[in-house]
């Protein structure tokens, strides 16, 4: 898109596949299609999608058919434009939008994504693809700077949500408890997982599963109906004792399992029989690889936030010292003690406690300032480079 293209967007008119006329006035997006017309267009685009194109993807795309998604484009020349574009699909790593103009690849942007709870989330990204579809219609592929958690935006119920288009089985590892009383099904599961590094322990009853679950497993795979009960009893008991391992429930009657509470239980995915290897591997990857990646990202985020807060508090301490406002630094010492306890920083805790005692004692201002300066130095050093 050139700097002047945002003005052309408002006047553009074209004809969509199937004779749909793209209007210029009162529209929700730059291609001028209302939701019903947009569905027809997207159906045609999805139908014409090549399997080879899908096979190249790292992240699975999920339908995210929204008539209006906010997009803020930052042109290299310093100008920017705010648009409303129709959306085709969404993945963990990016989004596909429809626009009636060309946009240069490499252009930075912000996408405003609606979450399921109604909140709007800003996601930064880069336009990596601008494919011409017909006349002025272009398809924009945007790669997010930071991967998103699809579960916040896409509702697929208990069917399971796959973030990855393909799975490298050798990356799947950890302790897995298989609860299955059918020898044939158990053999099939073992066969499907033969190329993984999952360590499988197999039991045949709910009672044995509850007994073994306390040993600690990264994943539990259970048939819904077993000789001594259903997986609902297993779920209730392991959650009661604080075992939060993800659970995959396998059943020939998914409606029965969902009615029994498996569909709405946290950390549970229901898979229908007959099992397919690709589905099982992708489900496990979602529960093991993606869950761990999200947890690591969340940990990095909160560490960075705490690091920023420590820097701010330390600066406040130094300002208080320079102004001779020693007593006002007492609350800041307590704040840093709390951070030290949460992040296991004993040296910081010791320095903050010493500074607090200096403030509360009859020590001279020079000693108090030295103690506060030492605390600020140790605080900054303790979280240096945290991200």
How do residues 223-236 score in pLDDT, each as one tens digit? 999 999 889 899 88
- DSSP annotation of 78: S
Among 329, 299, 294, CA closest to 150: 294
Instruction: Report the range of poorest mean pLDDT among 117-126, 254-263, 314-323, 356-365.
Output: 254-263
pLDDT range class, residue 16, cuts 50, 70, 90: very low
251/156: higher pLDDT? 251
Instruction: Report the pLDDT value the prediction gives residue 302, as an integer from 0 to 100.
Output: 59
Q: Is the pLDDT of residue 376 over 70?
A: yes
Q: Is the pLDDT of residue 197 over 50?
A: yes
- Walk across the sheet containing 268-272 and list its strands: 197-203, 173-179, 219-223, 247-251, 268-272
Contact 177, 219 (CB under 8 A): yes
How do residues 358-370 score in pLDDT, each as one tens digit? 998 878 888 999 9
Instruction: Report the pLDDT value the prediction gives residue 4, as an integer from 0 to 100.
Output: 36
How do residues 209-226 score in pLDDT, each as one tens digit? 999 998 999 999 999 999
Say if strands 197-203 and 173-179 run parallel, antiparallel, or are unpaired.
Answer: parallel
Contact 359, 326 (CB under 8 A): yes
In total, the chain counts a number of residues equal to 387
pLDDT range class, residue 303, cuts 50, 70, 90: low
How do residues 82-113 score in pLDDT, each as one tens digit? 999 999 989 888 999 999 989 999 999 999 99
Provide the residue ranges of all domains of the chain, joining segments of one domain with +: 5-155, 158-275, 298-382
Give the largest CA-CA distance in the chain: 86
23/278: higher pLDDT? 278
How do residues 132-143 score in pLDDT, each as one tens digit? 888 888 999 999
Instruction: Report the pLDDT value the prediction gives residue 178, as an integer from 0 to 100.
Output: 97
Q: Is the pLDDT of residue 10 over 80?
A: no
* Rounded average pLDDT over 142-152: 87
How do residues 254-302 score in pLDDT, each as one tens digit? 777 777 766 556 678 888 888 889 889 988 988 777 665 544 454 455 5
User: Tell me, which fold does domain 158-275 have in CATH?
Assistant: Rossmann fold (3.40.50)
Instruction: Report the range of poorest mean pLDDT among 19-28, 214-223, 371-380.
Output: 19-28
* Rounded average pLDDT over 163-170: 78
Instruction: Report the pLDDT value the prediction gives residue 61, as an integer from 0 to 100.
Output: 80
Measured CA distances, 85 to 73, 132, 148, 311 (Å): 12, 15, 20, 40
pTM of the prediction?
A: 0.48
Instruction: Report the pLDDT value the prediction gives residue 53, as an integer from 0 to 100.
Output: 52
* DSSP annotation string for 256-287: HHHHTTTTTSTTEEEEESSP-HHHHHHHHHII
Instruction: Report the pLDDT value the prediction gives residue 7, as an integer from 0 to 100.
Output: 31
User: What average pLDDT does the structure give for the chain?
Assistant: 81
Measured CA distances, 59 to 51, 163, 196, 216, 277 (Å): 14, 6, 20, 30, 18
Instruction: Report the pLDDT value the prediction gives residue 207, as an integer from 0 to 100.
Output: 93
78/375: higher pLDDT? 375
CB-based contacts of 281, cutoff 8 Å, min separation 6: 167, 169, 172, 192, 193, 196
Rounded CA separation 36/65 (Å): 11
Instruction: Report the pLDDT value the prediction gives residue 354, as an integer from 0 to 100.
Output: 93
Instruction: Report the range of poorest mean pLDDT among 7-11, 231-235, 243-247, 258-262.
Output: 7-11
Among 111, 94, 24, CA closest to 59: 94
Strand boundaries in the chain, DSSP class E? 15-16, 20-21, 62-63, 69-74, 80-90, 94-99, 108-114, 120-134, 137-144, 173-179, 197-203, 219-223, 225-226, 229-230, 247-251, 268-272
Q: Is the pLDDT of residue 204 over 50?
A: yes
* Rounded average pLDDT over 17-43: 67
Contact 11, 4 (CB under 8 A): no
Other CB atoms within 10 Å distance of the CB of residue 52: 7
94/163: higher pLDDT? 94
Superfamily of domain 5-155: predicted glycosyltransferase like domains (2.40.10.220)
Instruction: Report the range of poorest mean pLDDT among 138-152, 246-260, 294-308, 316-330.
Output: 294-308
pLDDT range class, residue 378, cuts 50, 70, 90: very high
Instruction: Report the pLDDT value the prediction gives residue 142, as an integer from 0 to 100.
Output: 95
Per DSSP, helices labelled H in 82-227 are: 183-192, 206-213
As a dihedral over the C-alpha atoms of residue 197, residue 203, residue 208, residue 213, rounded to 10 degrees, the angle is: 10
Taking each helix axis from N to C end, the angle separating 291-322 and 330-342, rounded to the nearest 10 degrees, works out to 160
Contact 248, 271 (CB under 8 A): yes
Instruction: Report the pLDDT value the prediction gives residue 157, as an integer from 0 to 100.
Output: 55
Instruction: Report the pLDDT value the prediction gives residue 18, as an integer from 0 to 100.
Output: 37
* Rounded average pLDDT over 12-18: 34
């Amino acid at each position: 898109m050139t700097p002047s293209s945002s003005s052309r967007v408002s006047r553009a008119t074209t004809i969509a596949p199937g004779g749909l006329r793209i209007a210029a006035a009162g529209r929700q997006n730059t291609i001028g299609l209302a939701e019903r017309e947009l569905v027809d267009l997207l159906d045609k685009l999805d139908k014409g999608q090549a399997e080879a194109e899908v096979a190249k993807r790292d992240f699975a795309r999920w339908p995210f058919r929204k008539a209006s998604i906010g997009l803020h484009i930052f042109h290299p020349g310093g100008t920017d434009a705010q648009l409303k574009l129709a959306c085709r699909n969404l993945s963990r790593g990016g989004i596909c939008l429809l626009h009636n103009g060309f946009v240069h690849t490499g252009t930075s942007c912000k996408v405003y994504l609606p979450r399921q709870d109604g909140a709007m989330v800003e996601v930064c990204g880069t336009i990596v693809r601008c494919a011409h579809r017909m006349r002025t219609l272009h398809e924009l592929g945007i790669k997010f700077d930071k991967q998103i958690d699809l579960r916040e935006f896409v509702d697929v119920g208990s069917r399971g949500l796959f973030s990855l288009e393909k799975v490298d089985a050798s990356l799947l590892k950890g302790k897995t408890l298989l609860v299955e009383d059918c020898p044939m099904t158990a053999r099939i599961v073992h066969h499907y997982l033969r190329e993984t590094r999952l360590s499988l322990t197999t039991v045949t009853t709910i009672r044995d599963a509850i007994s073994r679950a306390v040993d600690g497993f990264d994943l539990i795979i259970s048939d819904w109906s077993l000789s001594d009960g259903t997986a609902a009893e297993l779920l209730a008991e392991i959650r009661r004792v604080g075992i939060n391992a993800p659970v995959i429930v396998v059943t020939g009657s998914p409606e029965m399992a969902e009615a029994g509470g498996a569909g709405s239980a946290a950390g549970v995915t229901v898979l229908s029989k007959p099992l397919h290897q690709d589905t099982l591997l992708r489900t496990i990857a979602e529960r093991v690889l993606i869950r761990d990646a999200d947890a690591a990202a969340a940990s990095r985020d909160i560490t960075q936030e705490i690091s920023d807060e420590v820097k701010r508090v330390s600066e406040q301490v130094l300002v208080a010292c320079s102004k001779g406002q020693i007593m006002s630094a007492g609350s800041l010492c307590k704040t840093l003690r709390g951070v030290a306890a949460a992040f296991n920083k004993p040296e910081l805790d010791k320095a903050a406690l010493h500074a607090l005692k200096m403030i509360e004692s009859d020590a001279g201002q020079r000693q108090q300032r030295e103690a506060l300066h030492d605390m600020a130095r140790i605080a900054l050093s303790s979280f240096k480079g945290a991200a």
